[in-house]
């Protein structure tokens, strides 16, 4: 009796169908008990969107390759890789790890199959930051400006000087507000990232240093932070002063006047008009009465100190102090002082003479006072010489007898004094 066949199906086709049907129920082949896996990557460092060939070799416990088509499970912490790859007849499976173009870091690639256990290999995806150059435009602001916007540009390079795209950079500032709010920003294909800093007048009102810093940070090798720092100068406010008093002394006998000058400079060393200055003194009176003065276009303010003899008479020291003060920012006061000496060298005229020796008399000057002293002698009627400007004194011959009066006048920079004496020539 002949076997019955399905209509339209030949005997050969039916045999093929019968052979093929059991294959649908075969389990996925995995590495057997006792098998070992080894894994490698080539290269182990790739660009952020580069590829690395991952190779897994599977061996049985006796060292022979596992079955052709054994499934190796794959995963990676950074980038993407197929979830599995099949071994060839040499027990080797291959797959590509691809950087996703966004994340930079160390990719840990894991391979496993059946009871073999997991093996891993690391691939550095994207270069890590080694250098950050930070620029600010403008790099100085005025204290008088209501609002100033500063453009910040950070350029990130690796340790070899190559520009790095897609590197996270965070900015921080000592003054003002960042557009990002401090969140990470990523570099473009040229390794650059832009940030905007807004500084208001109130943000720098208490700044006493004349500058503040802005920092850009990225993560370097081994998690080490890499920084770029730029200083923003603050102009327009008082940064330094100089003070001058002319002259630096007054007379104990008459007092005197002293001209006071203060000059104010900003952080750039330029003259600063409109700064608030005032003068203070331990002695005498100021023309300003101690009121606040404004510096003029040349950055200077002036005052006059007047000291009277009465002021000096009750003062216990040989010098007094005059100060110049300028109100700075942040509550600071810029101050310089000058010592004014009380000059006690007012001239005091005096002289001595010997009793007349016949018609000759010798005079000796004993005057005191601050040098230099100038002298004027008037030796009286009948004297030869009748006058002299020699300070030490001299011998005079009288050509006529009678009462004689001699006067000595001494003068220095503080004043003039006279002394007189009378005698008789027989």
Per-residue pLDDT reduced to its tens digit, 276-334: 999 999 999 999 999 999 999 999 999 999 999 999 988 988 899 999 999 877 668 89
Residue 309 sits in a domain of what CATH number?
2.60.40.10
Which run of H or of E encompasses 14?
Answer: helix 11-20
Per-residue pLDDT reduced to its tens digit, 48-74: 788 999 999 999 999 999 999 999 999
Please indicate, yes or no, whether residues 274 and 320 belong to a single structural domain of this protein: yes
Tell me if 7 is assigned to some domain. Answer: no
Range with top average pLDDT, 196-200, 250-254, 415-419: 196-200
Region of 256 (left: φ > 0; alpha: ψ -120 to 50; beta: rest) is left
Tell me if 22 is assigned to some domain. Answer: no
- Low-confidence winner among 19-23, 29-33, 111-115, 353-357 (lowest mean pLDDT): 19-23
Q: Over the Cα atoms of the chain, what is R_g?
A: 50
Tell me if 381 is assigned to some domain. Answer: yes
What is the C-alpha to C-alpha distance for residues 392 and 347, in angstroms, rounded to an integer? Answer: 15
Please indicate, yes or no, whether residues 68 and 159 belong to a single structural domain of this protein: no
Confidence band for 8, pLDDT divided at 50, 70 and 90: very low
Check: CB of residue 300 under 8 Å from CB of residue 263.
Answer: yes
Tell me if 321 is assigned to some domain. Answer: yes
- Low-confidence winner among 75-84, 125-134, 226-235, 413-422 (lowest mean pLDDT): 125-134
What burial letters (b/e) apply to 218-250, b meaning 16+ CB within 10 Å?
bbbeeeeebebebebbbbbbbbbbebebeeebb
Angle at 71 (CA atoms; ends 70, 72), nearest 5 degrees = 120
Question: Residue 362: CB partners within 8 Å, gap ≥ 6?
Answer: 353, 354, 393, 394, 395, 396
Please indicate, yes or no, whether residues 164 and 190 belong to a single structural domain of this protein: yes
SS3 392: coil
Q: Which residue has the higher pLDDT, 337 or 9?
A: 337
Put the strands of the sheet holding 351-353 in their side by side order: 351-353, 360-365, 395-398, 383-384
Query: What is the predicted pLDDT for the residue at 238?
Result: 85
**Residue 359, phi then psi, degrees to nearest 5:** -105, 15
Tell me if 23 is assigned to some domain. Answer: no
Please indicate, yes or no, whether residues 159 and 104 belong to a single structural domain of this protein: no
Please indicate, yes or no, whether residues 317 and 381 belong to a single structural domain of this protein: no
SS3 133: strand
Query: What is the predicted pLDDT for the residue at 244?
Result: 93
Q: Which pair of tokens denotes residue 424?
A: 């008789």
Please indicate, yes or no, whether residues 375 and 333 belong to a single structural domain of this protein: no
Please indicate, yes or no, whether residues 217 and 189 belong to a single structural domain of this protein: yes
Question: Between the CA of residue 215 and those of 172, 179, 183, 193, what are the distances in Å?
Answer: 5, 14, 13, 13
Check: CB of residue 218 under 8 Å from CB of residue 129.
Answer: yes
Check: CB of residue 115 under 8 Å from CB of residue 99.
Answer: no
Please indicate, yes or no, whether residues 231 and 246 belong to a single structural domain of this protein: no
The half-sphere exposure of 99 on its side-chain side, counting CA atoms within 13 A, is: 23
What is the C-alpha to C-alpha distance for residues 67 and 239, in angstroms, rounded to an integer? Answer: 82
**Residues in the chain, overall count:** 426
The half-sphere exposure of 162 on its side-chain side, counting CA atoms within 13 A, is: 10
Average pLDDT over residues 28-43: 93
- Using CB atoms within 10 Å of the CB of residue 210, give its burial: 0 to 12 exposed, 13 to 18 middle, 19+ buried: buried
Region of 155 (left: φ > 0; alpha: ψ -120 to 50; beta: rest) is beta
Q: What range defines the domain where residue 166 resides?
A: 131-235
Put the strands of the sheet holding 45-46 in their side by side order: 45-46, 119-125, 105-112, 71-76, 84-86
Tell me if 386 is assigned to some domain. Answer: yes
Please indicate, yes or no, whether residues 145 and 121 belong to a single structural domain of this protein: no
Confidence band for 274, pLDDT divided at 50, 70 and 90: confident
Q: Which pair of tokens denotes residue 187?
A: 């570099």
**How far is Cα of residue 271 from the mean position of the Cα atoms in its chain?**
21
| Closest C-alpha to 277, from 250, 301, 251, 242 | 301
Which run of H or of E encompasses 11?
Answer: helix 11-20
Tell me if 1 is assigned to some domain. Answer: no
Domain count, the chain: 4
SS3 209: coil
Query: What is the predicted pLDDT for the residue at 258?
Result: 96
Of 281, 308, 343, which closes a domain? 343
Please indicate, yes or no, whether residues 271 and 189 belong to a single structural domain of this protein: no
Question: Residue 23: CB partners within 8 Å, gap ≥ 6?
Answer: none
Average pLDDT over residues 195-224: 89
Calculate the average pLDDT of the chain: 88
Please indicate, yes or no, whether residues 144 and 220 belong to a single structural domain of this protein: yes
Of 90, 125, 160, which closes a domain? 125
Put the strands of the sheet holding 285-286 in their side by side order: 240-246, 256-265, 300-307, 285-286
Of 85, 109, 125, which closes a domain? 125
Check: CB of residue 304 under 8 Å from CB of residue 258.
Answer: yes
Assess whether pLDDT exceeds 80 at residue 25. no
Please indicate, yes or no, whether residues 255 and 338 belong to a single structural domain of this protein: yes
Check: CB of residue 232 under 8 Å from CB of residue 176.
Answer: no
Helix intervals (H) in 279-393: 309-313
Check: CB of residue 322 under 8 Å from CB of residue 307.
Answer: no
DSSP string, 405-424: EEEEEEEETTEEEEEEEEEE
Tell me if 12 is assigned to some domain. Answer: no
């Amino acid at each position: 009796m002949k076997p019955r066949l399905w209509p339209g199906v030949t005997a050969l086709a039916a045999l093929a169908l019968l052979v093929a049907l059991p294959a649908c129920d075969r389990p996925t082949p995995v590495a057997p008990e006792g098998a070992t896996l080894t894994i490698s990557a080539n290269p182990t460092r790739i660009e952020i969107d580069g590829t690395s060939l991952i190779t897994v070799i599977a061996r049985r416990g006796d060292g022979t390759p596992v079955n052709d088509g054994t499934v190796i499970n794959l995963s990676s912490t950074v980038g993407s890789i197929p979830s599995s790859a099949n071994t060839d007849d040499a027990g080797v499976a291959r797959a590509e790890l691809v950087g996703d173009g966004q994340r930079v870091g160390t990719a840990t690639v894991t391979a496993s199959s059946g009871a073999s256990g997991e093996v891993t290999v690391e691939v550095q995806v994207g270069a890590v930051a080694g250098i950050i150059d930070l620029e600010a435009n403008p790099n100085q602001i005025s204290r008088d400006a209501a609002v100033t916007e500063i453009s910040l540009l950070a350029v990130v390079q690796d340790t070899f000087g190559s520009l790095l795209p897609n590197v996270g950079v965070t900015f921080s500032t000592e003054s003002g507000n960042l557009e990002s709010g401090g969140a990470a920003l990523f570099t473009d294909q040229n390794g650059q990232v832009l940030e905007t800093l807004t500084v208001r007048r109130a943000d720098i009102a208490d700044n006493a240093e004349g500058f503040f810093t802005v920092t850009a940070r990225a993560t370097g090798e081994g998690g080490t932070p890499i920084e770029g720092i730029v200083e923003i100068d603050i102009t327009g406010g008082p940064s330094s002063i100089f003070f001058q008093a002319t002259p630096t002394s007054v007379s104990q006998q008459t007092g005197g006047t002293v001209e006071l000058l203060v000059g104010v400079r900003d952080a750039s060393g330029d003259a600063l008009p409109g700064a608030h200055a005032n003068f203070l003194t331990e002695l005498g009176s100021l023309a300003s009465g101690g009121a606040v003065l404004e510096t003029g276009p040349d950055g200077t303010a002036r005052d006059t100190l007047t000291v009277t003899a009465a002021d000096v008479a009750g003062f216990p020291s040989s010098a007094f102090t005059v100060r110049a003060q300028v109100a700075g920012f942040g509550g600071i006061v810029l101050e310089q002082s000058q010592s004014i000496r009380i000059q006690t060298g007012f001239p005091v005229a005096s002289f001595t003479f010997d009793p007349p020796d016949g018609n000759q008399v010798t005079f000796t000057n004993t005057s005191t006072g601050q040098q230099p002293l100038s002298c004027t002698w008037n030796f009286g009627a009948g004297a030869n010489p009748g006058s002299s400007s020699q300070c030490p004194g001299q011998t005079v011959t009288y050509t006529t007898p009678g009462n004689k009066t001699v006067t000595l006048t001494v003068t220095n920079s503080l004043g003039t004094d006279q002394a007189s004496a009378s005698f008789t020539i027989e």
